[in-house]
A and B are shown apart, each in its own frame.
Chain A
């Protein structure tokens, strides 16, 4: 079974019950990009839900439609998301996303990878 997938917009790795999702720089992040990413992620996960460490430090601004798509359809087969951000741009973007677009799964924002993983550990064995 595959545990790694590299897409032009992101890299995804399944390891120890966590999906490591790393965004690559994206020129124009529209709904079409969001759809491709969700499809690729579902194919990698097959039917298993995972907690996700989402490294968005390189992320550029997604459009409103892309944000709405990620908030709902992007939550499919996800137990919880820890957003790993860099201070300022991606941190503000994620705060806005979390408060206004309101993803439908538990989500939290971290600037430190270790803290993000500690948060996700509580979801690994959840059904």
Chain B
């Protein structure tokens, strides 16, 4: 089974499904730009993993407790490896002398390497205000396994040359068996199964809030009735899923949208207040000042 063959890519899809079933939402399939049906599913599964990752905390995820230690390596401006720690050598299965002064491209999948180059070029160049970047790396190990890792990349400058310092953790190591997924809050007031049953309804309420940023929301008990929930479940479930309340989300989002209108359009404050469901310009100003610390006029588009 050669790298990039149809069988290899189908095997990657299978592996991804298994990882999701085991609760590992940090696994990603490398995308190599084939523009075919398999790639459609590679993209969809990657997106699915990203969405699911927000709803669960998996104890084997990046930055969690069962990871032995971070790998470290340093690149020069030509993307050649000029330093590694022992863990990085162990992960890739090469001794230090086989890695030093080698092009990183030799040890990464083509798509991931190209993406890394683009990210560094865009976000970590000499003029960029940002000096670190969180990125997904996909290595080819000595045994020809694909190894996905999250890592932070920092740009270092010694006055003459730039270096890229990477520090990260593997997220999908085939030989480790991950632990089962756990819900975000094990002491939650109602069980996972009940939460799953109400989940779709709560998501619908969330969507309803976002679609009604131009007007006042109905009272909570009416909203609960509209979506066939009881008020308690709506209140608790919404807080657990979105870490905020229905009305706080509604207010926060309206203020954020209003801020965009104020900063980037010539719309008057009175119209902005009215279009975002505030009773009056003064009510809007008070809420705005509470969130941003300054009155809306301070940010006015000129």
**Interface, chain A (partner B; CB < 8 A):** 27-28, 38-39, 42-43, 45-47, 61, 63-64, 71-73, 76-77, 87-89, 91-93, 96, 100, 102, 104
Please measure, in the bound complex, the distance between the C-alpha atom of A47 and the C-alpha atom of B270, giving whole angstroms: 13
> Which chain B residues lie closer than 8 Å to A64 at the CB level?
50-51, 54
Interface string of B252-267 (1 = CB under 8 A from A): 0100110011011111
Which residue on chain A has the smallest CB distance to residue B257?
A: A76
Interface-lining segment among B13-21, B40-48, B84-92, B143-151: B40-48
Number of chain B interface residues as a range: 35 or more
Given contacts A47-B266, A89-B39, A93-B47, contact A42 B210 (CB under 8 A): no
Do residues B40 and A73 form an inter-chain contact, with CB atoms below 8 A? no
Q: Which of B43-62 contact A (CB under 8 A)?
A: 43-44, 46-47, 50-51, 54
> Which chain B residues lie closer than 8 Å to A46 at the CB level?
265-266
Which residue on chain B has the smallest CB distance to residue A97?
A: B47
Which residue on chain A has the smallest CB distance to residue B54?
A: A64
**Interface, chain B (partner A; CB < 8 A):** 31, 33, 35-37, 39-40, 43-44, 46-47, 50-51, 54, 115, 118-119, 121-123, 207, 210-211, 213, 253, 256-257, 260-261, 263-267, 271
User: Can you give 25 contacting A-B residue pairs, CB < 8 Å?
Assistant: A28-B123, A39-B260, A39-B264, A42-B265, A43-B264, A43-B265, A46-B266, A47-B265, A61-B31, A63-B50, A64-B51, A71-B210, A72-B210, A73-B256, A76-B257, A88-B36, A88-B39, A88-B40, A89-B35, A91-B40, A92-B40, A92-B43, A92-B44, A93-B47, A100-B47
